[in-house]
Amino acid sequence: MILSRQQRVPQFPHAYSVWRDHAWFWGAIVFLGMLTILLVVWLVEPAPPKTIVISAGPADGSFWPAANAYRKILARDGVTLKVLPSDGSLQNLHRLLDPKQHVDLALVQGGVAQGLDTSSLMSLGSVFYAPIVVLYRGGEIARLSQLNGKRIAIGREGSGTRVIALNLLKANGIVAGGAATLLPFDGQESARQLAAGKIDAAFFNGDSATRGLMLRLLQDPNVLALNFTQAAAYTRLFPYLNQIDLPAGVLDLGRNIPPATVHLISPMVELVARPNLHPAISDLLIEAAQEVHGMPGLLQRSGEFPSPIEHEYRISEDAARYYRSGKNFLYRNLPFWMASLVDRTLVLLIPMAVLFFPALRVLPALYRWRVRSRIYRWYGLLIAIEREALEHVTDEERDRLVKDLDHIDESVNQLKMPLAYADAFYVLREHVGFVRSRLSGEQRPA
């Protein structure tokens, strides 16, 4: 059978076919690269969460506005901070320690963790003072022990005020069930009862020891603030306490309230978190704390807070790194979500290289195999036809073999091959012609 001229003219690929081969090659590289990045980033270090939860405090205390200030600052970077109300530091701490509670961090006052295993928690730093102010009625006293036998408001159940008040009173020989009457009033109720003369003394701490409340009570000449003359001793016996001073006239310069410097003792409030807090979120929270608490105040200097000094909770490694060097270059110059992605990608370049670059060496070989396989797959059929032709075959069988060879020839002529592989294409056509000559009994020239 003689093939037409059109069947004999080889058909090399047009631009579309070349583009398709290159698209397969480079598409495989891009896909492999993206897959490697996604797998490594996902498995080794997940992306920062978009929502976190903080346990704050009562709505009328200082913890609540601080937490809501953090919420507004984190929202700038697309992170939602949910603020949960609570009875105070003790409940906040219990929430953090309870795995069933969906809480990531909390504001916790020092001195409330006695008897609790807090080794699993970490601190992002101290953020402000929570001074202990003891206001009382009657003649001037110099020590807490002189309140024995009195009616004393020590704070509500679950509050840090109550825990610290019980510890300080116990150190002075005053315990529940003894001569003194210990009452579970919170700040506002304690202030009303003290102003009305229904109690003799009250502990105010952090949330409740506001400037307005103290100024209102101290305007009464019968109400005095206890001057902790033994403040140094308290800080030695209770390491979570600090000695601070309330200068004369700081509450009201015109009326000189208080009339003399009052020595106070104060725990610090720490931003405490669970150990799985994402490093990028840790940086955002410390940055928010600097913005909220970094200004000078009645009891603190500018830049004093947040502070990385350890008290009852270990400072996290991420927080320590932030206090040493601040935010890294990426987070200073890129949007938060982009900096997070780039940062995690850079950290994981080594494992990516281990997986990606060996694959780059394999892909060219796969590409060559893919192109050459279009040619090689016809050789099996050619060999089968040639072997069968070498045997004694009938004319009908020979005609069938010729038709099979015609089909191979036509299919080969329609192959679309890159020009770089034209030599293999011509070799295949030459071999098709060789087998045809064997079938027709022609002798190929030497």
Average pLDDT value for residue range 195-222: 85
- The alpha carbon dihedral of 26, 29, 35, 40 has a sign of negative
Q: pLDDT per residue over 369-418, tens digit each?
A: 777 777 777 888 888 887 877 776 777 888 888 888 888 888 877 777 77
Percentage of residues of the chain with pLDDT beyond 70: 82
How many angstroms separate the Cα of 436 from the Cα of each of 297, 384, 392? 101, 13, 16
By three-state DSSP, how is residue 243 classified?
strand
Backbone angles phi, psi at 346, to 5 degrees: -65, -40
Band (pLDDT 50/70/90 cuts) for residue 3 is very low
- State the pLDDT at residue 19: 55
Whether 364 has a pLDDT exceeding 70, the answer reads yes
What's 137's DSSP letter? E
Whether 291 has a pLDDT exceeding 60, the answer reads yes
Q: pLDDT per residue over 333-356, tens digit each?
A: 777 667 666 766 666 666 666 666
Whether 11 has a pLDDT exceeding 50, the answer reads no
How many angstroms separate the Cα of 243 from the Cα of each of 235, 259, 268, 269? 7, 19, 11, 14
Q: Are strands 181-183 and 151-153 parallel, antiparallel or unpaired?
A: parallel
Q: pLDDT per residue over 12-34, tens digit each?
A: 343 334 455 556 666 666 776 67
Mean residue pLDDT of the chain comes to 82
Whether 6 has a pLDDT exceeding 60, the answer reads no
How many angstroms separate the Cα of 220 from the Cα of each of 136, 301, 333, 365? 11, 30, 55, 92
- State the pLDDT at residue 348: 64
- Which of the given ranges, 37-46, 111-120, 378-387, has the highest pLDDT on average? 111-120
Length of the chain: 446
Average pLDDT value for residue range 185-192: 89
- In whole angstroms, give the CA distance from residue 38 to residue 57: 40
- State the pLDDT at residue 360: 67
Residues 6 or more apart whose Cβ sits within 8 Å of residue 329:
none
Q: pLDDT per residue over 119-155, tens digit each?
A: 999 999 999 998 999 999 988 898 999 999 999 999 8
pTM for the whole structure: 0.64
- In whole angstroms, give the CA distance from residue 444 to residue 432: 12
Among 62-66, 131-135, 253-257, 358-362, the minimum mean pLDDT is found in 358-362
- State the pLDDT at residue 147: 95
Separation of CA 303 from chain center:
26
Band (pLDDT 50/70/90 cuts) for residue 47 is confident
Average pLDDT value for residue range 52-81: 91
Whether 10 has a pLDDT exceeding 90, the answer reads no
- State the pLDDT at residue 173: 95
Picking from 97, 36, 40, 107, the residue whose alpha carbon sits closest to that of residue 68 is 107
Average pLDDT value for residue range 74-82: 94
Whether 444 has a pLDDT exceeding 50, the answer reads no
Q: pLDDT per residue over 146-178, tens digit each?
A: 999 999 999 888 777 888 999 999 999 999 889
Q: 361 or 42: whose pLDDT is higher?
A: 361
Backbone angles phi, psi at 48, to 5 degrees: -60, 140
- In whole angstroms, give the CA distance from residue 82 to residue 91: 17
- State the pLDDT at residue 235: 93
